[in-house]
Amino acid sequence: MAETIYDVIIAGAGPAGSTAATLLAQYHHKVLLIERAQHPRYHIGESMLPMADSIMQRLGVAWEEGNLRKGGAEFIDEASGRRTYFPLAGHYRTFQIERSVFDERLFLNAIKHGVKTHEQEQVQGVQCDTDKVQVKTDKTQYQGRYFIDATGRNALMAQQLNSIKKIDNLGKYALYHYYKLAESEEADKLFTHGNIKIFLSEVGWIWCIPLTGRRLSVGLVVQKKVPLDLKQDALFAHYIHASTYMHELLQGAEVLSSLRLEADFSYQNSRRYGARFACCGDAAGFLDPVFSSGFFFAVKTAELVADQLHQALLTGTEAVADLHVANDAIYQKGFKTMHLLIERFYCSNLVENLFFESDRQPQIKQEIVALLAGDLWQEGNRFQQGLLSGRNS
Ligand SMILES: Cc1cc2nc3c(=O)[nH]c(=O)nc-3n(C[C@H](O)[C@H](O)[C@H](O)COP(=O)(O)OP(=O)(O)OC[C@H]3O[C@@H](n4cnc5c(N)ncnc54)[C@H](O)[C@@H]3O)c2cc1C
């Protein structure tokens, strides 16, 4: 029997893989999407950015269904009593989502659009030849015209090409738990506003993300040295309960998970595309999650790659090695902005001098809100220009 030749073979059915697959199928290309796990599968990363909205609309996914509306982002320093709030209102609309449920919806949506899918199959290696790609899995081998790596932080192509560049000085690791909150006035307020709260901590920062069903995602991201004698559970409890707000909010809460850990999460893949392949989402790079940019970059890079690849498949130019050079520059501007913002968050007085002062400077406030919304390619954002040119430190 003749082997099927796919137009595009995609490894990894997270947000990046399912988005790229759906968009390419909408263009009527023949797509195979291979996922090593089985949906629904657990994934961290619940807080979304508004600029993913237009991509969800293109996919035909109503992300308002079953998810909590995210009002905005609050930054709080309990030690000094200072706080600030960046509302995501007007045309900025987004949600706090449960990833296992939502990622499965994106995956089923890809199937609905005609994508051929295989779950519980792991891609092990890829060979990009001049006339085709060969994708080897733990079950068999496939041929296609193009390969997209959307394997997340497994970064299959980067492992194969040895092209991971670690980014230092950001958060070192995250410890996190899920809770169901007891009835309280503070909990009611949290679920009504849907804000993500970021608390500055002695050792890094804490996220507090409300979800539907009175559930809460709470994480501690550690950037500084911690007492060596504290084991992970004790460390998490110590720094979470050092926050008066979190201590009170968690009174009577039911713990829904065991403590989870993610480490070494900031890097960039220096070979994000080449002849007959491109990398999307975390497989292209990942930044510390303080500004919740991961899901957005995943679907944005998938959109950029899919649109470009569609044209190339039509004209038979998909083997051109620098096919994605222009779109990669667009991505790089966004990634670099976020990277600089996160770096300033950790290594300068950005929060003290700019975030907490921004209520007195409406223009700057608006420009910071744009970046926190993922609106990274606006003309004339002077705050962003300052970041990119080395000012705003
Ligand atoms: C501590 C922490 C907190 C975070 N918080 C947020 C947040 O609040 N908001 C946000 O937007 N982002 C957050 N993120 C980031 C976010 O989770 C990711 O950026 C996002 O999931 C990237 O999507 P992706 O599709 O690129 O990768 P993934 O979602 O990781 O999907 C990759 C898929 O590929 C599959 N796969 C891997 N290897 C193979 C293989 N060899 N063959 C076949 N399949 C394979 C995996 O099973 C997986 O399903 C956080 C990350 C961390 C570490």
- Assess if residue 315 is contained within a domain: yes
pLDDT tier at 2 (50, 70, 90 boundaries)? very low
User: What percent of the chain is predicted at pLDDT more than 90?
Assistant: 91
Evaluate whether residue 11 is within a structural domain: yes
Identify the band that residue 169 occupies on the pLDDT scale cut at 50, 70 and 90. Answer: confident
Can the peptide bond before residue 227 be classed as cis, meaning omega within 30 degrees of 0?
A: no
How confident is the model over 264-279, as a mean pLDDT? Answer: 95
Q: Whose CA is nearest to atom 18 of ligand 1?
A: 294
Q: Is 36 in the pocket of ligand 1 (CB under 6 A)?
A: yes
Last residue of a domain, one of 242, 263, 284: 263
Residues 251 and 214 in one domain: yes
Pocket flag, ligand 1, residue 289 (CB < 6 Å): yes
The finding on whether 334 has its CB within 6 A of some atom of ligand 1 is no
Nearest CA to ligand 1 atom 35: 12
**Are 47 and 23 in a shared domain?**
yes
Q: What is the pLDDT of residue 230?
A: 81
Read off the pLDDT of residues 298-317 as tens digits, 9 standing for 90 and up.
Answer: 999 999 999 999 999 999 99
Distance CA 99, CA 92 (A): 21
Q: What is the pLDDT of residue 393?
A: 52
Residue 38 corresponds to which amino acid?
A: Q
Which of 43, 136, 218 has the most ligand 1 atoms within 8 A of CB, as the residue to mutate? 43
The pLDDT tens digits of the residues spanning 10-64 come to 999 999 999 999 999 999 999 999 999 999 999 999 999 999 999 999 999 999 9
For the Cβ of 18 lying below 6 angstroms from any atom of ligand 1, the answer is: no
Does a structural domain hold residue 58?
Answer: yes
Q: What is the CATH number of the domain that holds 230?
A: 3.30.9.100
- The CATH number of the domain holding residue 378 is 3.50.50.60
Which atom of ligand 1 is the closest one to the Cα of 34? 43
Of 241, 263, 285, the residue that ends a domain is 263
Element (H, E) at 306: helix 294-315
Average pLDDT over residues 110-119: 98
Same-domain status, 237 and 375: no
Q: Does 301 share its domain with 284?
A: yes
User: What is the 153 CA–ligand 1 centroid distance (Å)?
Assistant: 6
Centre of ligand 1 from the C-alpha of residue 281, in Å: 8
Q: Is the CB of 32 under 6 A from ligand 1?
A: no
Does the residue 280 lie in any domain?
yes
| Residue 228 pLDDT > 80 | no
334 within domain boundaries: yes
Asked if residue 124 and residue 240 are part of one domain, the reply reads no
Q: Number of structural domains, the chain?
A: 2
Specify the pTM: 0.97
| 180 phi and psi angles, rounded to 5 deg | -115, 125
End residue of a domain, out of 238, 263, 288: 263
Q: 8: number of CA atoms within 13 Å, CB side?
A: 38
- Statement to judge: residues 204 and 276 lie in one domain: no
Tokens 């410890």 belong to: 175
Do residues 9 and 53 both lie within one domain?
A: yes
In this structure, the answer to whether residues 125 and 188 fall within a common structural domain is: no
- pLDDT exceeds cutoff 60 at 112: yes
Handedness of CA 120, 121, 124, 126 (dihedral sign): negative
- Check if 144 has its Cβ closer than 6 Å to any atom of ligand 1: no
Same domain? 273 vs 259:
no
- Do residues 105 and 66 both lie within one domain? yes
Ligand 1 closest atom vs CA 281:
26
Q: What is the pLDDT of residues 170-190, one digit of tens each?
A: 989 999 999 999 999 999 999
Distance from residue 298's CA to the centre of ligand 1 (Å): 8
Which atom of ligand 1 approaches the CA of 122 most closely?
A: 42
- Same domain, yes or no, for 154 and 124? yes
**Model confidence pLDDT, tens digit, residues 94-106:** 999 999 999 999 9
Task: Give the position, in ligand 1's atom list, of the atom nearest the Cα of 196.
Answer: 8
DSSP code at position 50: G
Q: What mean pLDDT is reported for the chain? A: 95
> CB of 135 within 8 A of CB of 80?
no
SS3 191: helix
Residue 393 lies in a domain: no
- Which domain, by its residues, includes 44? 5-166+266-388
> Do residues 39 and 158 share a domain?
yes
Q: Is the CB of 19 under 6 A from ligand 1?
A: no
